Amino acid sequence: MNAGLWSSGVRHSGCLLLLLGASALGAVQGRVTLNGTPRDPDAPIRVASSDPTCSHAGKLTTENWKIGDKGGLADAVVWVEDGPPGKPDAKALVEQKGCRYVPHVLCIVKGTIVTFKNEDNTLHNVHGSEYRGKYEESVDLFNLGQIAGMATDQNFDQTGIFKIKCDVHPWMLGWIIVTETRFFAVSGADGAFQFPTGLPDGSYRAHAWHSGFEKPLVENFVVKDGNATLDLEFNAAQAD
């Protein structure tokens, strides 16, 4: 991730940092949580009956906040600033399925090609832009119209945070975070995350980003014997 994106106004978390002893596997892992209740909780989406594919897709709600037990926060991206660089994956996949982007949040190494595939029996488009924050204008990058069953490849050759949306179905929203390093993870339903194994021992800085906040949490941590546990907490009162 381009550190220049976050060179000013960075909030530091009051996270708990624990160092674990050596284990056979070695892992850098942790959990992202939300303290408090968002001012704008997720709400049902009204879908016009004239769009049978989406109106029959089941109960649709916004996907801004996925909060599990004990405040576990899903869809937060955690990565290592200036971590060892990674090679692009062969390809990554984002599906338009049930009138949603699946996955809602994707993190990839710079240079990875993302295949966008329309699995719905309706017209969608993928309108991608570089996200520069809620209070700055995003920069349009591509706009891919897709009929049912169509798949289109898009190369992400720069780091940053990218927002994707469907102009046909305005509630459809997704995020793609592109980093230089392979040491990243997206938190699961319980807020848990784990980096790929192999991060060398040493001192690092972790960033944790969630779409509900203007700036990421930033925290130093130390890997010893291949292990570290990093627990990061967002404060709902600071949500944008």
| pLDDT mean over 164-190 | 96
pTM of the model: 0.86
pLDDT digits (tens, 9 = 90+) for 127-142: 999 998 876 777 889 9
Strand partners, 60: none
Say if 1-49+70-85+182-240 and 87-179 have the same CATH topology.
yes
| pLDDT mean over 105-123 | 96
Burial of 33 (0-12, 13-18, 19+ CB in 10 A): buried
Share of the chain above pLDDT 70, in %: 86
Mean pLDDT of the chain: 87
Q: Hey, is 180 helix, strand or coil? A: coil
pLDDT digits (tens, 9 = 90+) for 39-81: 888 888 888 766 778 876 668 888 999 999 999 999 999 999 9
Helices (H), the chain: 52-55
Element (H, E) at 173: strand 173-179
| pLDDT mean over 73-91 | 93
CATH architecture of 87-179: Sandwich (2.60)
Using the predicted structure, report yes or no on whether residue 6 has a pLDDT greater than 90.
no
Q: If one looks up domain 1-49+70-85+182-240 in CATH, what number appears? A: 2.60.40.1120
190 vs 207: CA distance, rounded Å: 19
Largest Cα separation within the chain, whole Å, is 59
Domain boundaries, the chain: 1-49+70-85+182-240, 87-179
